[in-house]
């Protein structure tokens, strides 16, 4: 299931200098990208969706209701921006996923008989092992 709505008009991107590998590029170019999404004031999400996001992503949402996602893995600002967007939608999919209800099924007679036969064979095997005398 993929998230079907486009929320990109509510994204705020902030670029800054990245840390880590990249040589001189790190010191000169702002490649680290931070995506900020205001969950509290979002017009595109329903109240139910906002509450679900706040409940499931409480550790990623600030007190002001802003969801922050950071990417600095790539050497290009554009690639980091795309990676942030992909992370955001993956997070939403995971958050809004509803597992199917399990339907209890009664075991058939053949299944019960097969299980009992396997238990009997296993017991027989163990019984044969213990009957050996080590004198």
How does pLDDT run across 13-52, given as a tens digit for each residue? 888 877 766 667 667 777 888 999 988 888 888 888 888 8
Which tokens sit at 121?
Answer: 């064979």
- Taking the C-alpha atoms of residue 62 and residue 1, their distance in angstroms, rounded to an integer, is 27
Report the pLDDT value the prediction gives residue 11, as an integer from 0 to 100. 87
- Asked if 72 and 33 count as a contact pair (C-beta separation under 8 A), the reply is yes
| 57 CB burial (10 A radius; 0-12, 13-18, 19+) | middle
Q: How far apart are CA 73 and CA 23, in angstroms?
A: 14
Query: 133 falls in which pLDDT band (50, 70, 90)?
Result: low
Q: Identify the pLDDT of residue 116.
A: 97
Q: How far, in Å, CA of 54 to CA of 120, rounded?
A: 53
Q: What is the pLDDT of residue 135?
A: 57
pLDDT tens-place string over residues 55-98: 888 888 888 888 899 988 888 888 989 999 999 999 988 888 88
Give pLDDT, residue 110.
95
Q: Which fold is adopted by the domain 8-96?
A: Double Stranded RNA Binding Domain (3.30.160)
pLDDT at 1: 39
Place of tokens 């967007």: 85
Q: Where are the domains of the chain?
A: 8-96
Q: What are the tens digits of pLDDT across the range 90-124?
A: 998 888 888 889 998 899 999 999 999 999 999 99
What is the pLDDT at residue 128? Answer: 86
In the chain, beta strands by DSSP E: 11-16, 32-38, 66-71
């Amino acid at each position: 299931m993929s998230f079907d709505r486009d929320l990109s008009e509510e994204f705020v991107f902030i670029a800054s200098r990245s840390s880590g590998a990249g040589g001189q590029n790190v010191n000169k170019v702002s490649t680290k990208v931070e995506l900020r999404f205001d969950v509290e004031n979002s017009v595109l999400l329903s109240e139910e969706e906002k509450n679900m996001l706040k409940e499931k992503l409480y550790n990623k949402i600030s007190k002001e209701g802003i969801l922050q996602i950071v990417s600095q893995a790539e050497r290009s600002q554009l690639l980091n921006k795309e990676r942030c967007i992909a992370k955001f939608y993956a997070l939403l999919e995971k958050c809004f996923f509803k597992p199917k209800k399990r339907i209890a099924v009664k075991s058939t007679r053949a299944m019960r008989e097969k299980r009992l036969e396997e238990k009997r064979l296993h017991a027989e095997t163990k019984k044969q092992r213990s009957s050996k005398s080590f004198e």
